[in-house]
Amino acid sequence: MDEIANRIKEAGRGQDILIVEIGGTVGDIEGLPFLEAIRSLKSELGKRRAMNIHLTLVPFIKAAGELKTKPTQHSVQELRRIGITPDMLICRSEYPLPKELKNKLAFSCGVERNSVIECLDATTIYQVPLSFLKENILAPISEALDLGDLTPHMDEWDLLVKRVIAPRDELMIAFVGKYLDLKESYKSLTESLIHAGAHLNAKVKIRWVDSEVIEEKGCEDILSDVDGILVAGGFGERGVVGKMEAIRYAREHNIPYLGICLGMQLAMIEFARNVLHLEDANSAEFNATCKNPIIYLIDSFMDASGQKQLRTFQSPLGGTMRLGGYECETKPESLLRSVYDGAKVIRERHRHRYEANPAYREAFENAGLIVSGESHGLIEAVELKGHPWFLGVQFHPEFTSRLTNPNKTILGFAKAALTQRQNG
């Protein structure tokens, strides 16, 4: 518990406010150490420097035709049993909470009436902060933490939310992947497309495409009417042939393409096979003994903290990934540099193990696949000369995207797809 509390304090160092979320259900054994940590922290910091907010469900029982407060009362009792008293309740609900029900919750759970905050189901999660402001959530927070008057400027946020809900234009992106039974795997990426769409005043519609279906049926019927093709990251050999077919279709039909992580690596392998005619071109991840390892495992690299990391094929998979933020130098007059508004150096986050093999760089560039981003000698981005918009990046741009500040790679891709739609 002490270590948890110390890490919370370290994370908050130099910040005005730190929000700490403890997930799961109150009473679950997995969460008890974390709950004990915040209990002790509030005791240490005092009531003016810490506040407990309990997110709870107020279900609507259809048969009875009413909202029920018992689950909230019981979870608050369980929190009190371990020494935590909520200062505020945020009540998830399908229906508005009547004044009488809010009063009941305040009385039975020992919180102020203005600290019972209604949180209705919303069309988009980005509506929720606006809903909280309508509930005047900042007044009790300010009072509890002695923060003074809190008047956030939400005009830009409000405009973007309106564009998310009722956009002017629309475009269609083919999202080619293999984890489609669990679309939450791609949550950060799909949200980043929403961010980009809001700034373009356009709805980014996603056509989920199983790469293994492409292997069976081909691309024409599936991809001929889309405005952009996206191949995201992933691990393992399953489905990569279908992904490369989708990449080839984007390359040959001048459809805007964005390849992220594995999507960049497969773009290089596809190009090596079909343009450079290296039939054995592959990734060492899929075939460790291939004659032309376009993607390979380097023995050492410098991590984000400047420490040298060593790895082999026998190294644990997770422990030797290149993780965190790294700087990338962009090539002059490249698509990558223009996407980042002329920035010579950008910084993006990574999550991968294998790297593009620089031994093939000259052959690639002579044939038109240009290396446009590098990080300490490692290939970070490639783009196709003469194509309207074709970019592969080793980093994960979606990790740093926000509604008010969409990642520039994602925004550039969405903008190119919208232009494709408007030009027919």
Say what the pLDDT of residue 307 is: 52
pLDDT > 90: percent of the chain: 83
Where is pLDDT greater, at 25 or 225?
Answer: 225
Residue 310 reports pLDDT greater than 70:
no
Say what the pLDDT of residue 315 is: 46
* Residue range 345-354: mean pLDDT, rounded: 92
Structure letter (DSSP) for residue 402? B
Cα 305 → chain centroid: 23
**Domain holding 366: CATH number?**
3.40.50.880
Residue 300 reports pLDDT greater than 80:
no
CA distance 244 to 254: 15
121 and 201 assigned to the same domain: no
Among the candidates 114, 131, 155, a domain finishes at: 155
Among the candidates 124, 155, 186, a domain finishes at: 155
pLDDT, tens digit (0-9, with 9 covering 90-100), for 100-132: 999 999 999 999 999 999 999 999 999 999 999
70 and 117 assigned to the same domain: yes
What is the residue whose two structure tokens read 């004990």?
36
Say what the pLDDT of residue 299 is: 64
pLDDT, tens digit (0-9, with 9 covering 90-100), for 359-418: 999 999 999 999 999 998 899 999 999 999 999 999 999 999 999 999 999 999 999 999
**Domain holding 97: CATH number?**
3.40.50.300
Residue 164 lies in a domain: no
Kindly compute the dihedral angle of the four CA atoms of residues 210, 212, 217, 218, in this order, to the nearest 10 degrees. 80
How many folded domains does the chain comprise? 2
* Residue range 10-14: mean pLDDT, rounded: 94
For residue 133, the enclosing domain spans 2-155
Q: Where are the extended beta strands (E) located within 299-344? A: 300-302, 308-310, 322-330
pLDDT, tens digit (0-9, with 9 covering 90-100), for 182-217: 888 899 999 999 999 999 999 999 999 999 999 999
Q: Are 393 and 400 in contact (CB under 8 A)?
A: no
395 and 353 assigned to the same domain: yes
191 and 295 assigned to the same domain: yes
143 and 56 assigned to the same domain: yes
Residue 166 lies in a domain: no
For 129, counting Cβ atoms within 10 Å of its Cβ (0-12 exposed, 13-18 middle, 19+ buried), the class is middle
Residue 292 lies in a domain: yes
117 and 205 assigned to the same domain: no
Say what the pLDDT of residue 313 is: 45
pLDDT > 70: percent of the chain: 95
| Both tokens assigned to 353 | 């193990």
Residue 234's pLDDT band, with cuts at 50, 70 and 90, is: confident
At 285 the three-state DSSP class reads coil
Among the candidates 155, 185, 218, a domain finishes at: 155
Closest Cα partner for 268 from 239, 247, 299? 247
Supply the residues annotated as catalytic. 261, 396, 398
218 and 355 assigned to the same domain: yes
Say what the pLDDT of residue 84 is: 95
129 and 204 assigned to the same domain: no
Residue 233 lies in a domain: yes
CA distance 58 to 63: 15
Q: Which of 31-40, 59-68, 291-300, 367-376 has the lowest mean pLDDT?
A: 291-300
* Residue range 275-303: mean pLDDT, rounded: 84
Say what the pLDDT of residue 301 is: 47
246 and 321 assigned to the same domain: yes
53 and 178 assigned to the same domain: no
264 and 148 assigned to the same domain: no
Q: Which of 86-100, 204-218, 243-257, 288-302 has the lowest mean pLDDT?
A: 288-302
| Summary mean pLDDT of the chain | 92
149 and 180 assigned to the same domain: no
Say what the pLDDT of residue 172 is: 98
Say what the pLDDT of residue 152 is: 94
User: Which H or E run contains 365?
Assistant: helix 361-367
For 271, counting Cβ atoms within 10 Å of its Cβ (0-12 exposed, 13-18 middle, 19+ buried), the class is buried
Q: Which of 32-46, 216-230, 313-327, 352-366 has the lowest mean pLDDT?
A: 313-327
Helix axes 155-165, 187-200, angle to 10 degrees: 100
Residue 217 lies in a domain: yes
Say what the pLDDT of residue 323 is: 84
The strands making up 281-283's β-sheet, listed across from edge to edge, are 281-283, 292-296, 355-356
Residue 163 lies in a domain: no
Residue 353's pLDDT band, with cuts at 50, 70 and 90, is: confident
Residue 318 reports pLDDT greater than 60:
no
Residue 161 lies in a domain: no
Pairing type for strands 308-310 and 300-302 reads antiparallel
* Residue range 274-278: mean pLDDT, rounded: 96
Structure letter (DSSP) for residue 312? -
- For residue 169, CA distances in Å to 172, 203, 226, 229 come to 11, 6, 15, 18
Residue 165 lies in a domain: no
